Structure 1
Amino acid sequence: MKAKKVVMLVVVALVLFYVITKPGPAAQLVQDLLGWLRDGAEAIIVFVQNIFA
């Protein structure tokens, strides 16, 4: 259980370090991830629409 907590703290620390030291690329990464999620959701919607069309 302690190892899991330590790993989580290290991950959070690395993310914070990246955001603080490189805010521009960090913001672009978040935008890219959100775009990927949006594209995936749209693809699923089209798939379901085609099933029931």
Structure 2
Amino acid sequence: MRIRSAVGADRDQLWTAVREETVALLTAHGAGQVSVERAHEPPEQSPGGRYRSVIASS
């Protein structure tokens, strides 16, 4: 997961909160087996301005 944080935000605390909420949401929808990993790169936008929301692992 790529996250863009606000200036001055605690990136580790942000990651912990985002990961916990994401895992809880996935589990509630029966997808608890999905792996949620932290990426250190910022989110990338396509030329049309959209963000890619899901990237399958190889």
Which structure would you say has the larger Rg?
1
* Normalised-by-shorter TM-score class: 0.3 to 0.5
Q: Which has the higher helix share?
A: 1
After TM superposition, the score normalised by the length of structure 1 is: 0.40
By relative contact order (CA 8 Å, sep 6+), the higher-ranking structure is: 2
After TM superposition, the score normalised by the length of structure 2 is: 0.37
